[in-house]
Amino acid sequence: MARKRAARQKQRQLNRQTLISMATVSFVVLALLLVVSIKGIELKEKNAAYEQQKIALQQQIDGEKDRAKEIEEYSDYVNSDEYVEKIAKEQLGLVKDNEIIFYSGNEK
């Protein structure tokens, strides 16, 4: 009988240790799950912010490409004979040999 009692006590002690171990492991797993969840949420928020920044930068790049295209077109225009002729007429008052200039009485 004493043996059975000792065996039952030993079994109860093992059951308690098993329960304590399982509770400890469960707590650690839950703690890790909580940490991973929190970090996951933070990463999603950062990713969303980076996506917004990426969109804004892409829009800025597109705007700068459009601006570069406009500058290139203006550069081509400035280097054209049409532009040189226009400036020569407007700012320097030059005319071609075959042109006739008419003055109105209002010009000084």
**Higher-confidence residue: 40 or 3?**
40
Average pLDDT estimate for 71-90: 90
- Tell me whether residue 15 is in a domain: yes
| 32 part of a folded domain | yes
Position 68 in a domain: yes
95 and 101 in contact (C-beta within 8 Å)?
A: yes
Q: Is residue 30 part of a domain?
A: yes
Length of the chain: 108
Question: pLDDT, tens digit, for every residue of 22-78?
Answer: 999 999 999 999 999 999 999 999 999 999 999 999 999 999 999 999 999 999 999
Return the H-helix or E-strand segment holding 88. Answer: helix 81-92
Give the whole-angstrom CA distance, residue 59 versus residue 51: 12
Question: Against a cut of 0.75, is the pTM above it?
Answer: no
Between the alpha carbon of residue 108 and those of residues 26, 29, 64, 77, 103, the distances in Å are 98, 93, 44, 31, 9
Residue 100 lies in a domain: no
Domain around 77: 2-92
Asked if residue 74 is part of any domain, the answer here is yes
Residue 57 lies in a domain: yes
What's the total number of domains in the chain?
Answer: 1
Determine, yes or no, domain membership for 97: no
